[in-house]
Amino acid sequence: MPEAAPTPSVKAFLVCDTVIHDRQTNKMSLIGVFHDLASTRFPAVHPALWLYANLTDAHGRYEFEVRLMDLHRSSVLGSGSHPAVDIPDPLLTREFSAQLRNVSFPSPGIYEFQLLANRALIGTKAIRVLQVDAQGRPVTEPSTPPPPTGGPP
């Protein structure tokens, strides 16, 4: 029975607007790394975003999967997988990127991209999705008290 592949170490797991792979230099450029999204209405659909992962300590055959989780509802909103990859040297750094289109967020809140290798969770990246008005100002929910103004009396 073959030995299980070791769990890779995630050095970076990011969400950005664009990933450019320069084939001549083999360098990746990440453009517009972000942690928050804003929308005036929900469900909100983000037309395109990229996920980038930088891994090391991998050796063997891996099946990678990405999930989008709604943390408030503890539900999977979507997932995708990559064809199996053989990584021959644990000292090498491997980079992966994937473009996601028309990503839907049902309501304001915290969402999480999860990176799995051979069905084991190896990395997460949270995204905060905010509701804003037409001028881009955050909309507070009625149950949330407004922030305090001024200093102590």
pLDDT tens across 97-141, in order?
999 999 999 999 999 999 999 999 999 999 999 999 999 898 976
Cis peptide before 43 (omega within 30 of 0): yes
**Average of pLDDT values for 68-72?**
94
CA–CA distance, 55 with 12 (Å, rounded to integer): 7
Confidence (pLDDT) at 148: 57
**Average of pLDDT values for 88-99?**
93
Q: Where are the beta strands (DSSP E) in the chain?
A: 9-22, 27-33, 36-39, 44-56, 60-62, 64-70, 75-81, 85-87, 94-105, 109-117, 120-131
Q: Which residues are paired to 81 by β-bridges? A: 65
For the entire predicted model, the pTM comes to: 0.85
pLDDT band of residue 143 (cuts 50, 70, 90) is: very low
Domains and CATH numbers, the chain: 9-131 (2.60.40.1930)
Average pLDDT of every residue of the chain: 91
CA–CA distance, 68 with 70 (Å, rounded to integer): 7
Confidence (pLDDT) at 68: 97
Give CA 70 to chain center in angstroms: 12
